[in-house]
Amino acid sequence: MIDQNIIRQKLNNRLKSEKLSLRKIALETGVSFSTLGRISRNVGQADTETLLKIAEWLGIVNFSGGTVASGENTMENIRAVIEADGNLSAKNRTRIWKLFKQMYLALQGEK
């Protein structure tokens, strides 16, 4: 499942930086105002479909095109995509993330 903490952090950052309201975001995402409020306050766990809607709205991922959007933190974006993959078990998502992270950090300076 998608890491709700990443979604919450990015949601709250965007709320503050763009002076948006949860009601406006609810209209744009199709996620209820109350659900957005709970995510923003870190209360409970939202379902994967809800988190994916918010992630796409945030520009973390674009599932219709299957791409990762460019953003402030590529590693967080890629982790969100891996965590969102319902075709993998939680154990395998963790394995893939760890392998990717090791490879990325090892090759980061090479061009």
pLDDT exceeds 90 at position 105: no
Write out the two tokens for 63: 């599932």
What pLDDT does residue 67 have?
46
Q: Is the pTM higher than 0.75?
A: no
Q: Greatest CA span in the chain, whole angstroms? A: 46
Residue 87 DSSP label: T
What domain range is 12 assigned to? 4-107
With beta carbons less than 8 A apart as the criterion, state whether 104 and 75 touch.
yes
Q: pLDDT per residue over 58-87, tens digit each? A: 887 655 545 444 444 677 778 777 877 777
With beta carbons less than 8 A apart as the criterion, state whether 100 and 17 touch.
no
What pLDDT does residue 77 have?
72
CATH classification at residue 59: 1.10.260
Domain count, the chain: 1
